[in-house]
Amino acid sequence: MGECEPSSRKNPTVVPEHGAYTLTRRTFFSLVPLSGVVMGIAKGQAAKEEQREGQSVEVVHTRVFAAGPDGGNPCPVILAGDDLDAREMQTLAKKFEQDTVFILMPQGGDADIRLRYFVPSHEMGVSGHATVAAITVAMHEGRLKSERVRVETQNGVFAVTSVQSGGQLLVTLEQNRPVFGPAVPPSMVARALRITLDNIASKTPVESVSVSRPKILVPVNDWRVLDKMEPNFDALSTMCDAFRVSGVYPFTRNTDKANADVEARQFPLRAGFPEDAATGVAAAALGAYLARYDRQCRTGEHQFRIAQGYAMGSPSLIEALADCAGNKITRTAIRGAAEIIGQERVSL
C-alpha cells in the first residue's frame, strides 16, 4: 500500500471508492436523529406555507408629502406586521414595487411602536416618508393614543410628534445629529449623473451627509439641470458603494417652485426602482447641509421647504428642520403629512 493511500483499517467509516463512501452501522444510526430533525423542520416549513395559502393581509395605501394632484410618495402600510416573516414582507414590497412599511409590537421597553421597512429589493433600516405614513395610519386606527411616541427601527429609536393642523395630521420625525462625510469628486458625480462639471454649483461641496442613512448631496446650478438628469445607474451604484451611501440627492437653490426654498431629486441605491418622489431622510440631511453652509450654523431653528418629485410628475414638499447652538447643529427633523387614499386585502 502506498504512503498516501487511505487505509480502511484506520478509518473504517470513510472509504473513498468511486467518489462514494461506506457507512458503518454505528455511523448510520448516529445520523438518523439528525435526519429526523431536518425532515421535521422541512415538514414544519411546508405546513406553515400551506397554512398561509389563501390568507391575506389588510393594506392601507397612503401618499406622503403630496404637493398637488398625484403628488407625494406612495407608501403601503401593513398593520399586522407581527403575523408576517421577513420573506413575506419582502414579497409584498416586490408586489407593490414601492417602499412598504410594517407595523409591529416594540421589542424594547423604550418604544411605543416598531416599524420595518422594505423596498422591492431589500430591507431598510429606516425610511422617513414611510414613518410618517405608518404613524398617520396607526393614529387613524387607534393603535397609538399619544401625540408623542417613540418609534423602534433597525437604525435606532426615533421620537415622533403629531398634531392636527388644517384638517390633516402633521407629523414631525426627529433624526440624529448630522455626520458630514468625505467630499466626493465632482467629476465622479458628473459622470454618474450625466451632467457637465459646470452644471455643479461650486459654492458648497459635493459631500456625504447622514442623519440616519447617508446620502451624497450634490448642489447644481438650477432646476433645469435637475429636470434633465438621466443618471448612469451602474456608475451611480459604483459611486454609492465606494462612499458607503444609500443614494444620491442632487439639489438646487434656484428653483421655479414658488412653494419651495430648494428643489431636489433622489436616486436610491438598488432599491428596485430608479427614483423617489419624496425622501425624508435625504431631506433631513439636506436641511443640516443648508444650516451649516448657507446659514453658517446661526443659533436658532432653521426651516427649509424642499420640493421633490416634480421631474416624475409626483409633486412633493418636505419641510426639513435644523436647530443650531454654539456653532453646532444640535437637532435635525422632517415634517409633513400623509393622506390615506385607500384600503384593500392582499393575498400572501
Give the CATH number of the domain where residue 245 resides: 3.10.310.10
C-alpha cell at 280: 425624508
List, in order, residues 6 or more apart from 7 with CB less than 8 Å away. 1
Mean pLDDT for the stretch of residues 175-179: 97
Q: How far is it, in rounded angstroms, from Cα 305 to Cα 177?
A: 19
Mean pLDDT for the stretch of residues 14-21: 39
Closest CA to 132 of 94, 174, 98: 174
User: In angstroms, what is the C-alpha Rg of the chain?
Assistant: 26
Structural domain contains residue 118: yes
Structural domain contains residue 83: yes
CB 277 within 8 A of CB 264: no
Element spanning 66, H or E: none
Whether residue 169 is found in the same domain as residue 187: no
Is 2 or 85 the better-scoring residue by pLDDT?
85
Mean pLDDT for the stretch of residues 134-161: 96
Whether residue 106 is found in the same domain as residue 61: yes
Whether residue 224 is found in the same domain as residue 288: yes
124 torsion bin: left (phi>0), alpha (psi -120 to 50), beta (else):
beta
Mean pLDDT for the stretch of residues 176-184: 96
Structural domain contains residue 224: yes
| Counted domains in the chain | 2
Q: Which domain holds residue 195?
A: 179-334
C-alpha cell at 142: 387607534
Whether residue 258 is found in the same domain as residue 299: yes
Whether residue 322 is found in the same domain as residue 214: yes
Whether residue 73 is found in the same domain as residue 205: no
Whether residue 115 is found in the same domain as residue 188: no
Return the pLDDT at 203: 93
Confidence bin at 211 (pLDDT 50/70/90)? very high
Mean pLDDT for the stretch of residues 186-211: 97
Return the pLDDT at 239: 98
Whether residue 72 is found in the same domain as residue 151: yes
Structural domain contains residue 16: no
Structural domain contains residue 38: no
CB 277 within 8 A of CB 194: no
Give the residue carrying C-alpha cell 462514494: 20
Whether residue 145 is found in the same domain as residue 190: no
Structural domain contains residue 68: yes
Confidence bin at 49 (pLDDT 50/70/90)? low
- What backbone torsions phi and psi does residue 38 show, to the nearest 5 degrees? -60, -45
Q: How far is it, in rounded angstroms, from Cα 165 to Cα 144?
A: 18
Structural domain contains residue 199: yes
Q: How far is it, in rounded angstroms, from Cα 299 to Cα 241?
A: 35
The pLDDT tens digits for 198-208 are 999 999 999 99
Whether residue 170 is found in the same domain as residue 183: no
- What is the reported pTM? 0.82
Return the pLDDT at 108: 84
Confidence bin at 145 (pLDDT 50/70/90)? confident
Mean pLDDT for the stretch of residues 236-243: 97
Structural domain contains residue 147: yes
Whether residue 186 is found in the same domain as residue 284: yes
What is the Cα 160 distance to its own chain's centre? Answer: 17
Whether residue 248 is found in the same domain as residue 162: no
The pLDDT tens digits for 51-72 are 456 689 999 999 999 999 899 9
According to DSSP, the β-strands at 247-252 and 215-220 are: parallel
